[in-house]
Chain A
Amino acid sequence: MDLESMYQDIILEHYRRPLHAGLREPFDAQVQHINPTCGDEVTLRVTLNGAAGEPAVADVSYEALGCSISQASASVMADMIIGKSVREAMAISDEFLKLMQSRGEAEPDESVLGDAVAFEGVSKYPARIKCALLGWMAWKDATARALGERARAVPLGTSTGASGNGDREQS
């Protein structure tokens, strides 16, 4: 089946044994993102460290309920960006978004994307792009909140997302 081009072994492996899964304390921000059309959802927390001028991703913890693509993507993402600076992680995120929008035409850069190149096949199935992006969108949202919180010098460990319609972003 041509499905193998989308469901590569790496993806199925991350789906069966997701890395960094589970919600952990302490955290700087938590968000809950939902894909309204299919019922994929992810609750995601970020913990930042590093100097104020160069924040870094100390931890990404998450609970993902959904299809293999969305869960595997969250796992690959967490594994890639933990320990990197936020700036580097954002660059990877942008590169991944480009790959998703490439309709199968792109030549993904493994040096930037690492294991995430395995999702290349998803770009040929437009209905699944949002699945692959769900975790990344949640991480960007949580990170933005965490950085905003830092600017306001609120103590670490405060939950700032996922309550009421206004806070919940539907990706």
Chain B
Amino acid sequence: MRVTVALALALLFTVGPVGALEPGGSRLVLLGVVLREPGDSFAIIEDAHTSRVGFYRVGASVGGVRVTRIEADRVVVAAGGTRAVLRLGRAVGVAPEPEPLVPVPVGRPAGDGPAVRPAGATLAAPPPPLYGHPVVVGQSPAPGRREPPISTGTGAAGEAGSTAATAPTGVAADVTFTGLHHNGSRRPGTEFSSAALRDLLIGVTLQRLSGSRQQRIELYAPDGSLYQRLSGPAAATTETRLPVGGTWITVHGLLGTWTVKVFVDGQAAPAGLGTFRLTP
């Protein structure tokens, strides 16, 4: 299956028209789109009101609006006869379209194949990080070379993955996940069984990192709540070990899609984010 991916970001632009669609003040942020075969594309949308990140196909509802169309750089939503456009990398426009396109930091031109780690691939074994403490696991990638930012697992949407271009002066973060299981196995992916998962390694690769900086990882539970912050020195590549088994995560059944945001130094907006899903 050929998958075209256009993921970008999202500096928490608010969605004015959507807010207008929902007087309650819902604000939606288009984090990315994954273009697949017709009818199988989906959009990654964050409801900034709740910090929930979800995956929506055409017809799905989010924040009181319905997704009606998914394109490479935008998603059209509708409610009550009014349409609005969520755009990657900028505020939405209001129907009728078109609205001038703006440069979007897209990882690959449309039509390129996805940056996908083969299923079942394993990461080079890093030193075991202490719980909650990032450890450096490698050197900065060679100039011009990008490591695959994510790996595939048994996720519902399958083989998706992407990198995004970075602004000339900015720092960008790629986020990966590796499950360390009770049975001793170590498996990269983005969907994990909470019954089998002992710890989760959160890998962060920072692009264009220079100087001495601090890195902060924020983990958002499926209900949108900030579960925990993990801070430490930034490095080109770090792994942070999150205890899962027997923690509040399993004891309180915090199952569903988790969002991980990576911040560098004083950045108010995340340098990167990733999601993973915990199942029973």
Asked whether A and B interact, the reply is no
Residues of B whose CB lies within 8 Å of any CB of A are none
Residues of A whose CB lies within 8 Å of any CB of B are none
